[in-house]
Structure 1
Amino acid sequence: MSGTVLAVTPRTQAELAAVLTDFAQHGIELLVIDGGDGTIRDVLTAAATVWTGAMPRVAIVPSGKTNALALDLGILDHWTLDQALAAARDGASIVRTPGRGRTRRHRPETPRLPVRRGRVRRGDRTGAAAHRAGAFKGFAVGVALSWAIVQTLFGRASGMWRAGNRMHVRYDSAADAGRVADTDTHRYILLASTLTRMPLGVQPFGAARDGLKTLLVDAPPRWLAAAAPLIVAGSPAKWLDRAGYHRIDTPALDVTMEAGFILDGEVYPGGALTIRQAAPISFVVP
């Protein structure tokens, strides 16, 4: 690695694309992103259109509201640029295969760029409420999920959480090779991620593993008081799937829903969304 550092602060998507194009022309060896999950999403989304081949290594200096990716990589909140550069010189890195989402039917304000890594959660109001309550970084994910469970257990029978939202979900089943699952029904929650370690130690997808993982819960949720602790703890209990708590391993799935959704802490309107694994990225780690 050379000792030259190019530092910029783009303020629009157009500026970001121009900056990354300039970086690519300079042949940078390391792309450092200072920010949270939303900033990382924006940068890697734009970078995917600039580097059509192998991307440079990526280092993260966490400073945003949610830093789930930094947590997954074992990067502490106080990690600095100097530490990231030192780790890059030492060659410390880990490869992650991020998720990639693309909306296929847009409202005018919906971003059209592919998302290189993300989580999709039903309940656009919950994530925003968690941030307003002061729950940032990894805690926001736990607060949002906990609030959804509380609203379901103690809210009105006619409440939106129990009723769920209608979703059409289609995917190739990895557990049953060659079978295509195609369902159209009301769902309580859809949670998808390529992270191997979730905030607060929760394990909604079961045992830690690579790849795109999805938790899909039918609505209204059955036996939630008994199921919720098992889901959070990553229990492999077989009855959970029969009760409507489906853990899915698939490289891609198509989802269509009218309700809004949250991706990396940002709220998007409903519509058709394709979620799939993207090309591996090498991240610098401590």
Structure 2
Amino acid sequence: MNGTIYDFAGLPRLAAFGPDSRVRADARRLAATAGAPARIAMVSNPRSRRNKLAGGVPAARPGVIAAAPRSRAELRDVMIRFAAEGVDLVIVDGGDGTVRDVLTCSGDVWGARWPRFAVLPSGKTNALALDLGVPADWTLDQLLDAARAGRTATRSPIAVERRDQPGGPVRGFLFGTGAFVAATALAQRTHRAGAFNGVAVGLALSWAVAQTLFGSATGSWRRGERLGLRHDTRSVAMHGAELAVDRNQYLMLASTLERLPLNIRPFGAARPGLKTLTIDAPPRRILSAVGPLLAGSEAAWLERAGFHRVDAPALDLDLEGAFTLDGENFPGGAYRLTEAAPIGFVVP
């Protein structure tokens, strides 16, 4: 499930693997059976960092249906089987990329009634787990105890869909373009050097700021990329920012997470919903702005300096360059981002 560049042109083919109406009806019937004991399934990424270090995926538990697919096509088939068997809790054993793949390959499998999910953090980055308060050393037995106790929090993923092609959306939690793509590539290098999670984020941010400060005015870090952006005007929260832009941007971030690694707060105060940050290119006052920005400051001078925050339920993007969703690159194009329906996650 790792190491393959996502291609939106392939999503219609994934959708074609979806269950027929009989399977969907069976899944709904099984999931809604009154008084039935919880049916639990676990999908493990055998290539996740912790599983590789441990020499394999966690040992099976009685009553837990286990699967370790090695491709997205296999993962799609696994999710269809889980739905048909009436699973109402899916444990995701992996990192942020594995969570993205599970939610994406679920597609229309669950209809309008999705199961609860739980994250067993075993990847190089585990931002969703951090946001949910899941410790890095959470065990499967502790997770199952929390599930039996009914401890749950909700998060809404971002649904990213091509506007110019048919097919289902990719679902993730942290979206970025511009300098964020290059910073993510730097973070991948820190992974190879043995830095993970918050340490990797800190190193990547530091290097990105240095490249921006000391690079040439015409260098790629400062030049930015052309970005057409139109926020949905319904239920918009903003601080004087423009709802529509079409010019070079240094960086754009979007997320529905409420807490990010290292407790950085580029979107301001912690809150639910789809939040965006755009930074004009070339970035101004970056040295004096980076500290207050990451600390969540809402000082008016940040907006005047080209650091724009907007909360909106949806937005349309026209991208020249690639974007990153939960650590994986996707090609540029015409996209729509929406705040998807909330999903319940088991928490400690």
State the TM-score, normalizing by the size of structure 1. 0.92
The structure that has the greater radius of gyration is: 2
* Identity fraction in percent: 52
State the match for 1:257 in structure 2: 319
Do the aligned partners of residues 158 and 250 (structure 1) sit closer, same or farther apart at CA in structure 2, a change above 3 Å counting?
Answer: same
Question: Which residue of structure 1 aligns with residue 81 of structure 2?
Answer: 22
What does residue 201 of structure 1 align with? 263
User: For 1:53-68, what aligned pairs fall within 5 Å after superposition?
Assistant: 53-68=112-127
Please state how far the C-alpha of 1:259 moved relative to its aligned partner. 1.2
| Aligned partner letter, 1:145 | L
Q: How does 1:69-88 map to 2 (within 5 A)?
A: 69-88=128-147
- Equivalent in 304, 322, 330 of residue 268 of structure 1: 330
Shift of 1:112: 5.8
Change (3 A) 1:215 1:68: same
Structure 1 distance, partners of 2:306, 2:78, is 46
Deviations 1:77-124 (A, max 9, x none): 111111111110011111112221123357xxxx96422222222233
Q: How far is 1:172 from its partner?
A: 2.5
Q: In the alignment, does 2:175 pair up with 1:127?
A: no
Distance 1:169 1:225 in 2: 26
TM-score (normalised: structure 2): 0.76
1:14 Cα shift? Answer: 1.8
The answer to whether residue 153 in structure 2 is matched with residue 114 in structure 1 is no
Distance in 1, Cα, partners of 2:77 & 2:237: 43
Equivalent in the alignment of 1:168: 228
Q: From the superposition, tell whether residues 103 and 65 of structure 1 become closer, same or farther in structure 2 (CA, over 3 Å).
A: farther
* Secondary structure class of the residue paired with 1:43: helix
Q: 1-side partners of 2:167 and 2:185: how far apart?
A: 22
Q: Which amino acid aligns with 1:157?
A: A
Q: Which amino acid aligns with 2:225?
A: N
- Aligned partner of 2:298 in structure 1 is 236
The answer to whether the 8 A contact 1:101-1:276 is kept is yes
Q: Following the alignment from structure 1 to structure 2, what is the Cα–Cα distance between the partners of residues 79 and 116?
A: 24
Deviations 1:165-191 (Å, cap 9, x if unpaired)?
A: 110001124137xx9822100100001
Q: What stretches of structure 2 of length at least 5 have no aligned partner?
A: 1-37, 40-61
Separation (CA, whole Å) in 1 of partners of 2:324 and 2:167: 15
Counterpart CA distance in 1 for 2:319 and 2:90 is: 35
SS in 1 for 2:136: coil
Specify which of 207, 228, 245 is matched with residue 147 of structure 1: 207
> After the TM superposition, which parts of structure 1 deviate over 4 Å for at least 4 consecutive aligned residues?
none
In the alignment, the residues of structure 2 paired with residue 76 and residue 112 of structure 1 have an alpha-carbon distance, to the nearest angstrom, of 35
Measured after TM superposition, the shift of residue 283 of structure 1 is 0.2
What amino acid sits opposite 1:74 in the alignment?
G
Greater shift in the superposed pair: 7-16 or 179-188: 179-188
- The superposition leaves residues 41-85 of structure 1 with CA deviations (integer Å, 9 ceiling, x where unpaired) of 000111232111121110110011110000000001111111111
Tell me the SS of whatever aligns to 1:116.
Answer: strand
Unpaired segments of 5 or more residues in structure 1? none
Give the distance between the partners of 2:272 and 2:175, measured in 1 at CA.
17
Amino acid at match of 1:126: A
Counterpart for residue 14 of structure 2: none
Superposed displacement of residue 139, structure 1:
3.5
**CA apart distance, 1:128:** 2.0
**Corresponding residue SS for 2:252:** strand
Number of residue pairs aligned between Structure 1 and Structure 2: 280
More off after superposition, 265-274 vs 240-249: 265-274
Rounded to whole Å, the distance in 2 between the matches of 1:276 and 1:82 is 35
Alignment correspondent of 1:190: 252
Map of 2:154 onto structure 1: 95
Question: What do residues 199-233 of structure 1 show as CA deviations (whole Å, max 9, x unaligned)?
Answer: 00101000000001111010011111111111011
